[in-house]
Chain A
Amino acid sequence: MSTSEAGSGPDGAGGADGDSTGTGAGGDPDGTRGSGGLRTALSRTRAATALTLRRRDSLLVVAGVTVIYLLGYLWAIGDLAPGFGGYGLVLAADPLGTLFRTTSGVLSFAPVALVRAGPLAYQASLNTLVGLALALLVGLNLGLTYLTRKQPAACGLESSAGVLAGIPALLSGTACCGPVVLIALGIQASGVLLTAFQVLLPAAALVLLGSLVLVGRQVRPEAMTGANG
């Protein structure tokens, strides 16, 4: 989506939803409520996301947060950890057959390769792609939050709260038997708790998406054009 499209969208001065809401008490100052509200919010979010990725300063925020979160995620699930040292690559006996093999739940995959990189060892699997998707969502959330802080009429507590949704996903890694975090904390597990852990990751993704919309709807791309870092 182009800047001009973003600027002429429902959030703009001439937007029908925006105009119809007014600004009085009990009104819809964001223009994102009512029957067309979701469409408006999504449209704004798309525009704001595009803007976030175009601006150098916000792109740096997205990239930095994505990398840090991904590394944190891989560390938390044990795919990145101290190794025995040395350098090398070890492949699974059947890499293709292993690639889509789940280990505990639908979003936990078996490693297809082990990369030894000095003090660290990295187990490569589809877990990395899952983590990357989550990391991008966290990054975009913070990138958009950054923009809302930059824009003149910055507001909204949602803008910083949504990123917290990225935290539970860090706890989703499981050991051979049971979630690692329970072992680390000495907490006894139960069937209900294990089920809860299996939904942590998809739940986090959903909350992050929701948060993205909540934050994105507040960004007014046209108000940011003069503040491009």
Chain B
Amino acid sequence: MTRLTRRQALASLASLGAVALAGCTEGAGGGGGDGSDATVPAADARLPLPMEPAELREAAVSGGPDKDGIPSIDDPSFIAPSEVSFLADGDPVFGVVRDGVAKAYPQKILAHHEIVNDELAGDPVSVTYCPLTGTALGFDRGGTTFGVSGRLVNNNLIMYDRATETWWPQILATAVPGPWNAEPQTRSLREFRLVWTTWGRWRDQHPQTRVLSRETGHPRNYARDPYGGYNPRDGYYAGGSPLFPPLREDDRYGPKRVVMGARAPEGAVAFLKDSLREAGVLTGQLGDVPVLAVHDPRYDTGYVYRNPDEATYEATDGRVRGPTGENAFDQLPLDRVHTFDAMWFAWAGFYPETNVYE
């Protein structure tokens, strides 16, 4: 294992022109938006930001679509695996289990909506996905819903809550000023883990899972992903530059290389996903805190744990062996940090001081 320290220009378009010519408690008060008194549940601790909130507003760009031009799914319906005819085993899904109920959200559908306002075990949540940064994160939404603002920062989806119209960049998961709410209180959302895996892997682990239906209320051709494809990987997802210039350039890895990233008030850390897959277990530092990354072959995903005592763990056949015996990949007796897949350029752009390991 190697520890690495941290460290696009616009293409000429003349020719084109020629042809054309974490924790939880308090909430963000309502008052604007939909006129409700709904609150967005906020985390105990604020997540790190790469710059001042006002600067993030300045760095936001229009992605093209209008506000809600990408419609969130606000009345989702679900079907049984036996009714799923539109997914191949290798197609990506974002899975979550709460109170014994498993749900899978197909990437094919989320590519067209980016946000699903749903409930998990009676809790109002939003399942979110940004195609341009390859990130899927779950948030508690309280009594309101999230929508797609049409703006991006560092190519990342900027959500807005419909109670206060506050901007919430998805990866940062923290309120920033925007045109509809210029002075929101800077606070972070309560998050939950979505597992980015494949339909075949998820169904094998959760045969009774519910799957987001194509009956979304929006007549969309979910067979067509405007960005490319993941099965096999092609188009935007396969490589090349991000669509918009990232906040910062970092060419240590290809822009679309996938990392398992974790950020917390003390800092940020990333593990190259293919390295983690190969090694099974990697160690690193989150700020000054030693961490342990574990690959879960069931889902081909990873988890990052705070490991302050630097206890030794090793992957064995289907388990992780540590000082207290064997554990499931996602149930080590350590403090787990919210971890998710992200494209390298997005992670490096938002967390320039991140540690990254391979």
Instruction: Give A residues with C-beta under 8 Å from B.
Output: 78, 81-84, 90-94, 102-105, 108, 110-114, 121, 123-124, 165, 167-168, 171, 174-180, 182-184, 186-191, 193-194, 196-197, 200, 203-204, 207
Q: What residues of A have a CB within 8 angstroms of the CB of B152 in the complex?
A: 177
- Cβ proximity bits B213-256 to A, threshold 8 Å, 1 near / 0 not: 00101111111101110000001100011111100000000000
A-B contact count (CB 8 A): 137
Q: Is B85 interfacial (CB 8 A cutoff)?
A: yes
The 8 closest A-B CB pairs, nearest first, are A168-B20, A175-B226, A114-B219, A93-B217, A177-B63, A103-B69, A186-B240, A121-B221
Query: What separation, in Å, do the CA atoms of A142 and B19 have in the docked complex?
Result: 19
Contact B11 A114 (CB under 8 A): no
Give the contacting residue for A183; candidates B16, B65, B224, B243; CB below 8 A. B243
Contact A190 B223 (CB under 8 A): no
* Chain A interface, >50% SS class: mixed
Q: Is B66 interfacial (CB 8 A cutoff)?
A: yes
Query: What separation, in Å, do the CA atoms of A102 and B67 have in the docked complex?
Result: 10
Q: What residues of A have a CB within 8 angstroms of the CB of B157 in the complex?
A: 177
Query: What separation, in Å, do the CA atoms of A190 and B243 have in the docked complex?
Result: 9
Residue with the greatest number of chain A CB neighbours at <10 A, chosen from B132, B224, B228, B236: B224
Of all chain A residues, which has the CB nearest B75?
A: A93
Q: What residues of B have a CB within 8 angstroms of the CB of A108 in the complex?
A: 69
Least Cβ–Cβ distance between A49 and chain B, in angstroms: 23
Q: What residues of B have a CB within 8 angstroms of the CB of A121 in the complex?
A: 221, 223-224
Give the contacting residue for A104; candidates B19, B69, B222; CB below 8 A. B69
Query: What separation, in Å, do the CA atoms of A180 and B226 have in the docked complex?
Result: 7
Given the contacts A165-B21, A188-B245, A190-B10, A178 and B63 also touching, CB distance less than 8 Å:
yes
Query: What separation, in Å, do the CA atoms of A203 and B228 have in the docked complex?
Result: 28
Q: What residues of A have a CB within 8 angstroms of the CB of B241 in the complex?
A: 186, 188
Q: What residues of A have a CB within 8 angstroms of the CB of B9 in the complex?
A: 188
Query: What separation, in Å, do the CA atoms of A94 and B227 have in the docked complex?
Result: 27
Contact B219 A91 (CB under 8 A): yes
Contact residues, B86-119 vs A (CB, 8 A): 86, 111-112, 114
Query: What separation, in Å, do the CA atoms of A171 and B85 have in the docked complex?
Result: 32
Least Cβ–Cβ distance between B133 and chain A, in angstroms: 10
Query: What separation, in Å, do the CA atoms of A102 and B66 have in the docked complex?
Result: 8
Least Cβ–Cβ distance between A107 and chain B, in angstroms: 12
Q: What residues of A have a CB within 8 angstroms of the CB of B1 in the complex?
A: none
Query: What separation, in Å, do the CA atoms of A186 and B245 have in the docked complex?
Result: 12
Contact B224 A188 (CB under 8 A): no
Of all chain A residues, which has the CB nearest B225?
A: A175
Given the contacts A104-B66, A177-B64, A191-B62, A123 and B86 also touching, CB distance less than 8 Å:
no
| 12 new A-B contacts at CB < 8 Å, known A178-B63, A187-B11 | A78-B226, A92-B218, A93-B75, A108-B69, A123-B220, A175-B64, A177-B131, A177-B132, A183-B228, A188-B11, A190-B244, A204-B21
Contact B218 A93 (CB under 8 A): yes
Contact B243 A189 (CB under 8 A): yes
Q: Is B45 interfacial (CB 8 A cutoff)?
A: no
Query: What separation, in Å, do the CA atoms of A204 and B111 have in the docked complex?
Result: 29
Q: What residues of A have a CB within 8 angstroms of the CB of B245 in the complex?
A: 188, 190
Q: What residues of B have a CB within 8 angstroms of the CB of A90 in the complex?
A: 215, 219
Give the contacting residue for A184; candidates B17, B132, B221, B235; CB below 8 A. B235
Of all chain A residues, which has the CB nearest B108?
A: A84
Q: What residues of B have a CB within 8 angstroms of the CB of A189 in the complex?
A: 243-244
Query: What separation, in Å, do the CA atoms of A93 and B220 have in the docked complex?
Result: 12
Q: Is B8 interfacial (CB 8 A cutoff)?
A: yes
Q: Is B13 interfacial (CB 8 A cutoff)?
A: yes
Of all chain B residues, which has the CB nearest A106?
A: B66
Q: What residues of A have a CB within 8 angstroms of the CB of B20 in the complex?
A: 167-168, 171, 200, 204
Contact B243 A182 (CB under 8 A): yes
Query: What separation, in Å, do the CA atoms of A165 and B224 have in the docked complex?
Result: 28
